[in-house]
Amino acid sequence: MKLRARIIKALMKKDFRMLAGNKNTFFILLLPILFCVLYTKVLPIGKETGMLYPLLLCEVLNLICAPISLLSMMVAEEKEKNTLRTLIMSDVRAMEFLASKMFVVLLLMEVISVTNYLLVGLDMKFFAGYMLISTLASIGILFLGATVGILSENQMSTGTISTPLMLLLMLPPIFAGMNRVLEKIAFCLPTNAFMEIMNGEYRNKAAFLSGANMKHYAVCLVWIVIGIAVFNIVYKKRGVDSQ
């Protein structure tokens, strides 16, 4: 399906306006930044663990909150308020509608990533790699977030699917050291891949593009493939608007 840049641009403008007027979604976006302030200023845990650890925690939160919770809520909101139907009847293609929301969320995630990085004050030599890997890790999750939006009838119901998915992506990487099972689960997650690559570079164990990190890049790529596949199956089966 051909995507029209002019329509996506118009939709993105609209999505930014919608976000600006919605306190709930604004709070979801701010959450990783608030935690970053908490970890670095109020409870300076980085003094003991190094500044990378709070950054990774907040970035994992960013990788989960925005693509899954925020994106699915944005899609579901337009379904719930019938504005999606109105857009579709105005010659907006479903994929343009979703692409606009995914671009907006991705852009906002990037802004949050930069903000967190600057708040933590980590050496700038890690910055490019950090941005690149977090973006790579986010793509598969973005497709899953859009899928959650397609599957949900309204904003309330997004939580039913998004909460378990968020827990799955967030908890195993954080508690991977506790036992082997969690470690194995964590290995398969893009959030963990992001943490491992960043840890390796920070502790001088493995450079960003070293062979040791290839398995983690592979995990991110597999998640992108899975994300696109699941999205396609659900989209073809349900359509974006199942009314």
Partner 1 sequence: MNQDCITMEHVGISFQKKMALDDVNIRVSEGEIFGFLGPSGAGKTTTIKLLSAQLRQDCGQISVMGMEPFEDVSKLYQNIGILSDNSGLYEKMSVEENLKIFSEIYRLPKTRIPEVLEQLHLTEDGKKKAEKLSRGMKQRLLFARAILHKPKLLFLDEPTANLDPSTSEDVHDIIKQLNRDGTTVFLTTHDMEEADELCSRVAFLNEGVIKEVGVPEELKIKYAKDRVKILYTDGTVKEIPKDKTAIAEELLSADKEVVTIHSVEPDLKTIFLDLTGRELA
Tell me which of 90, 123, 180, 211 binds partner 1, using CB under 8 A. 90
For partner 1, the closer of residues 6 and 180 by Cβ is 6
Q: Which is nearer to partner 1, 12 or 38 (CB)?
A: 12
Q: From residue 145, how far is each of 65, 84, 141, 217, 228 by CA, in Å?
A: 10, 17, 6, 20, 11
Query: How many amino acids of this chain bind partner 1 (CB under 8 A)?
Result: 24
Of positions 24, 49, 86, 160, contacts partner 1 by CB under 8 A? 86
CB of 6 to partner 1, least distance (A): 7
**Residue found under tokens 């983690």:** 216
10 binds partner 1 (CB under 8 A): yes
Smaller CB separation from partner 1, 29 or 198 = 29
Q: Which helix (H) or strand (E) holds 13?
A: helix 5-20
DSSP state of 176: G
- Rounded CA-CA distance 106/85 in Å is 24
Q: Which is nearer to partner 1, 19 or 170 (CB)?
A: 19
Q: How far is the CB of 21 from partner 1 (least distance, A)?
A: 4
Tell which one of 42, 91, 180, 204 touches partner 1 (CB under 8 A): 91
CA neighbor of 67 nearest in space, from 115, 23, 32, 116:
32
92 near partner 1, judged by CB under 8 A:
yes
Nearer to partner 1, 13 or 203 (CB): 13
Residue whose C-alpha is closest to residue 101's, from 73, 131, 130? 73
Dist CA 106 CA 127 (whole Å)? 17
Comparing CB distances to partner 1, the nearer of 84 and 197 is 84
Q: Please answer whether residues 184 and 106 qualify as being in contact, where contact means their C-beta atoms are separated by less than 8 angstroms.
A: no
Q: Which residue spans within 21-129 are E strands per DSSP?
A: none
Q: How far apart are CA 143 and CA 62, in angstroms?
A: 15
Interface with partner 1, residue 135, by CB under 8 A? no
Taking CB under 8 A as the criterion, the residue among 87, 186, 219, 240 binding partner 1 is 87
The residue ranges that bind partner 1 (CB under 8 A) are: 6-7, 9-11, 13-14, 17-18, 21-22, 78, 81-87, 89-92, 243
